[in-house]
Structure 1
Amino acid sequence: MLRSLQLESGYRIILALRLSSLLIFFSSVLSARGYPSRAHIFIYAVCSQEKYQPNSPFEGNLNSFLSSVVSSSSDITYNSFAVGNGSLTPQEGSVYGLYQCRGDLHPIDCSKCVGRLVNQIGLVCPYALGASLQLEGCLVRYEHAGDFLGKLDTSLRYKKCSKAATSDVEFFHRRDDVLADLQTANGFRVSSSGIVEGFAQCLGDLSVSDCSSCIADAVGKLKSLCGSAAAADLFLGQCYARYWASGYYHESVNLSIPLVSFKY
């Protein structure tokens, strides 16, 4: 009887360990495939070569802008700001900027992403008069002039292409279906066809027609620059598009432009 109880107890322990292992396995799979868990991954930075002086009016307004960005991101996923553009403030001290989170992020995850990004701006672009930083889940951009707001910008900021897919006609048919669907986006759009998934997003300051033009440009560049890649990401100045075949999203190889300073 005692031996029977010991065996039963042993089986229970083994079963519990197996169940625990399965839970850990599935949790890791969900975490690996869950975009919010990847929101903090750094994508690119663009820093102006022009610098501002420490303790200048611009620095004070920039700090106010960054504080407003963090505060606002806990409520909405996009917002734009103009700080210090009143008649009593010298024009050179004005700061214009915006932030945006990926459309599927919960406000809590959006706020975490933006907060992390804001903490990096001073390190990545120290004293830069203009900067644009993109993480996997969010973007923050600021300038000393506001003429960039609402203005279509399709300049290439970043690309990433995986190794080539097999010559599977079905894959390319599915990929083209996804990319065609993404071009109908007005803001943020997710699409899937068979084993291929993708999503695209425009900045919130773009009109519907400019959003369509931007994503169409991104899709065209994806095809021309990444060819037969099984997974590809492409970020332009005001939009991005990406697709991947099942199993390739986290295996794509970085073939991006370097993270260096540029002059706007």
Structure 2
Amino acid sequence: MLVQFVRRFSKMSLPTKIKPLLFLWCHLLICTFLFTSLPLAMGTASDDYTSLVFNGCSKQMFPNNVYPENLKPLMNSLVSNSSLETFLAATATSGDGTNGINGLYQCRGDLSPAECNTCIRKIPPLVSQLCGETNVAVRVQLRGCYLRYEIADSKPFDATEFLFKRCEVNQARAAGLGEKRDTAFGILENDVKNSTGGVGGFYTGGYDTVNISGQCEGTLVNQDCVACLQSASQKAKTECGDSVTGQIYLYKCSISYKSTNSSNANANGVPYSRKVGAGSGNYPAEMVVAIIVGSIIGLILLGAVVIYIIKECRS
């Protein structure tokens, strides 16, 4: 848009003294725009919520050819609804109510509906690529969402069944990291326990230099969510040890933590925790500062150019 404006501006008939100055102002405005938008683009790229974390494919196959036919409308329904809500469970059956398949998806609580839809739309092709379309149970987990399905008469899984871990290879050398992480886990669990949200939920929190997040499946009430997150945090302690980052995925909840190099705004042992709604993700402080500084520079340049033009016109 700015480039088009400059091209149109070059064809305008303006006083000789003013035109070069306005050209300079336009170029400065473009530079300011790039300066403020680049941090946002970098921030978006740094959190690729559509990247694959893990997948699970049952070794058992559908007992007949009717199940695959029921799977197609189920997947279509889950994908289409992901632009409206961040969690949905559904069932597809034959006309007589047999050959049922249960499926659901869930997006990370800080994703907007549009981002949720983008994330979920990535999964059906991955199901075909990684598992095929004849397995009786499948789960594909991306960074920002997951989708799973299984035949209706399959044996239910325990909510705390361990699925996957990802731990930072380098071990932490910061003093007291384990204690800080465990304190952050406790704060998060307490926040879930005191939540009035009812079921599911995405929570973020931290303690000193440790940031943490956790999410429960939308079918879990608060007390079951707390129990699941407690199991996940215990698994993080045993599986990840003193790693600076860790991600633990259980069947119906997940938890992740990261130790920063320096204390955040809630340092000096000050705990914090909150339940996050859809699309409420925050930009890091560095991005906010860059945007503010760039905007101020742009306003100063605009004011200076306007004042100069007024003086030139009067003379």
Number of paired residues?
236
Report Cα offsets for 1:108-139 as digits up to 9, x if no partner. 11111111112211111112121011111111
CA distance in 2, matches of 1:49, 1:125: 9
Verify the 8 A CA contact 2:70 2:94 in the aligned structure 1. no
- For 1:183, the equivalent position in structure 2 comes to 189
2:243 maps to which of 224, 229, 232: 229
Q: Are residues 84 and 9 of structure 1, via their aligned partners in 2, closer, same or farther at CA, if it must alter by over 3 Å?
A: closer
1:186-224, Cα deviation, whole Å (9 max, x unpaired): 522111223221110111122322211111010001011
Matches of residues 198-217 of structure 1 in structure 2 within 5 Å? 198-217=212-231
Q: Percent of aligned pairs with the same residue?
A: 25
CA separation of 1:168 and 1:21: change in aligned 2, threshold 3 A = farther
Whether the 8 Å contact between 1:152 and 1:206 is mirrored in structure 2 is no
TM-score by length of 1: 0.77
Does 2:106 align with 1:100? yes
CA shift in 2, pair 1:19/1:172, >3 Å: farther
1:148–1:207 CA distance, 2 compared to 1 (3 A): farther
Q: Which amino acid in 2 is paired with 1:130?
A: A
2:117 maps to 111
Range with greater deviation from structure 2 (107-116 or 172-181): 172-181
Is residue 73 of structure 1 aligned with residue 82 of structure 2? yes
Deviations 1:147-170 (Å, cap 9, x if unpaired)?
Answer: 666x6332221111112111412x
TM-score (norm 2): 0.66
Q: Give, in angstroms, the shift of residue 58 of structure 1.
A: 0.5
1:58 maps to amino acid:
Y
For residue 139 of structure 2, the aligned residue among 132, 138, 144 is 132
1:49 corresponds to which letter in structure 2? Answer: K
One-letter identity of the residue aligned with 2:149:
Y
Q: Name 2:60's counterpart in structure 1.
A: 50
1:32, distance to aligned residue in structure 2 (A): 4.5
1:11-44 deviation line (CA, Å, top 9, x unaligned): 97996686466436523442245x4xx2101011
Please tell me whether the aligned partners of residues 86 and 113 of structure 2 are also in contact (alpha carbons under 8 angstroms). yes
Task: Give the RMSD, CA atoms, in angstroms.
Answer: 2.9
Instruction: Specify the SS of the correspondent of 2:78.
Output: helix
Q: Does the CA contact (< 8 Å) of 2:209 and 2:261 recur in 1?
A: no
Cα distance change, pair 27–53 in 1 and its aligned pair in 2 (3 A): same
Equivalence for 1:39: 49
Q: Give the Cα–Cα distance (whole angstroms) in 1 for the partners of residues 247 and 30 of structure 2.
A: 39
Give yes or no for contact 2:49–2:145 (8 Å, CA) kept in 1. Answer: yes
1:243 equivalent in alignment to 2:257:
yes
Indicate the structure (1 or 2) with the bigger Cα radius of gyration: 2
